[in-house]
Amino acid sequence: MSASSMTATSIWRTEMAKRRRVAILISGRGSNMTALIEAATAKDYPAEIVLVISNIAGAGGLAKAAEAGIETATIESKAFGKDRESFERKLNEALVAHNIELVCFAGFLRLLTPWFVKQWEGRMLNIHPALLPSYRGLHTHERALADGVKIHGATVHFVVPEMDSGPIVMQGAVAVRDDDTPDTLARRVLAVEHQIYPDALRLVASGGTRIENGLCKPNAKGSPDDTLISPAII
């Protein structure tokens, strides 16, 4: 091996060593999980996906993660009944055992106790299919259409004890079409989710954000001045 290629290899190793160890928590098909796994295959991505955990046995995302060569685990929340904290302690044990540094919820259908959230405060992200703080909770696309909003979208945010709240890292928007149904709107929003989640994780994992007075701020100067007006008058 030449001296120059050795240098390149050692630089690459150092870069890889700096990658944050990420676990993804899922309950379903895991399309956001797949977007994160794919993004993390890039050499310069500052995070590696080392573990996928589902709280539902047989969740579709588990097989996809295994296909991508990622370790998977199932910790069935159902088995713990109303004892939420025992479930979370098991979850926490698995995360700690794998030296996880950041946790990403990707369609993880489970409300968490303040105890669990505290363990991962500032190190746990979620994606929600709406422009928070609008439309917390379920059926976001139906509710957006019922309200006649003209712009809708998705949000990546840090997890806090309150559902679908917490410092917003990144948002992506789509124009709502006059003939949209919940399904057509969901499809376009999902495409945006697959864009912003990998970008938001990149930003956070590389240390590109800070929390100030409960808000997430990017460390880099400058912000986009793109404007989305909907409907466009033609």
Q: Which residues contact ligand GRF by CB under 6 A?
A: 28-33, 106-107, 127-129, 190, 193
Enter the DSSP assignment of 81: T
Between 74 and 89, name the residue whose CB sits nearer to ligand GRF.
74
Cβ 216 to ligand GRF, closest distance in Å? Answer: 18
Q: Tokens for 183?
A: 């399904």
H or E stretch including 24?
A: strand 20-26
Least distance (Å) from ligand GRF to the CB of residue 19? 22
- Compare residues 127 and 170 and give the one whose CB is closer to ligand GRF: 127
141 is catalytic: no
Per the residue annotation, which of 98, 128, 139, 194 is the catalytic one?
128
Give the nearest distance from C-beta 140 to ligand GRF in angstroms. Answer: 8
Residue 125 CB, nearest approach to ligand GRF (Å): 11
Residue number with CB closer to ligand GRF (25 or 203): 25
Alpha carbon separation from 150 to 45, 98, 112, 193 (Å, rounded):
34, 43, 32, 18
Q: How far is the CB of 6 from ligand GRF (least distance, A)?
A: 41
- Whichever of 3 and 144 has its CB closer to ligand GRF, that residue is 144
Give the three-state DSSP class for 57: coil
Q: Name the residue whose CB lies closest to ligand GRF.
A: 107
Dist CA 20 CA 213 (whole Å): 25
Q: In what order do the strands lie in the sheet with 71-74?
A: 71-74, 47-54, 20-26, 102-105, 124-128, 151-158, 168-175
Decide whether 25 or 50 has the Cβ nearer to ligand GRF: 25
Closest by CA to 190, choosing from 132, 141, 119, is 141
Question: Is 143 in a helix, a strand, or coil?
Answer: helix
- In three-state secondary structure terms, 122 is coil
Q: How far is CA 26 from CA 64, 116, 126, in A?
A: 12, 16, 11
Catalytic residues: 128
